[in-house]
Amino acid sequence: MTDQTTIQAVEWQRVSPKYVVVDLIGYLLSGLLFTGISFVPHFLFGWDWAWLIPVAVGAFWLVMVILTPRRVRAIGYALREDDLVFRKGIMWSREVAVPYGRMQLVDINRGPVARAFKLSELKLVTAAAATGVVIPGLPETVAEELRDHLVTVAETRRAGL
């Protein structure tokens, strides 16, 4: 118990596997965009070494794209008795516990790509801006059920700020 090095939860809920595609599209688009922009010094100034910039930028985004399935698999949340635990990240990992009574409101957002895959993103807002819990890639029905559930439990455990 005291020797564990990762947060244990009864069962981690994973986000939809379809979210890999959504995330992949996002990373591919921004990767192409930034790689394209990084060609500018090459064409503008014609320095000999300027071609290295797009190569480096492209390689960075390629790694991001390749790691996407793993990164999506690393996203997880667990509904414990009195709080919600959220985790994400492989290189830079982050785990957050938010007591239900602290939730001020629950948002559901849908991006254009995610909407095509019928996925939603759930955002928890507490009185602290730094809490920053956004659960992406939830199927629409799951997101709505989760929101209703969270709102109900938050109401029963409501405390002052």
Residues forming the site for another protein (CB under 8 A): 2-7, 82-83, 85, 91-99, 101-102, 126-131, 133, 157, 159-161
- Tracing tokens 């991006």 back to the chain, one arrives at 111
CB 139, min distance to another protein, A: 25
Structure tokens at 62: 């390629």
Residue 6's nearest CA partner among 74, 72, 73 is 74
Q: Which is nearer to another protein, 30 or 93 (CB)?
A: 93
What would the DSSP string read from start to end of 18-39?
THHHHHHHHHHHHHHHHHHHTT
CB 33, min distance to another protein, A: 26
Burial of 119 (0-12, 13-18, 19+ CB in 10 A): buried
CB 140, min distance to another protein, A: 26
Q: Which is nearer to another protein, 28 or 97 (CB)?
A: 97
Q: Which is nearer to another protein, 45 or 92 (CB)?
A: 92
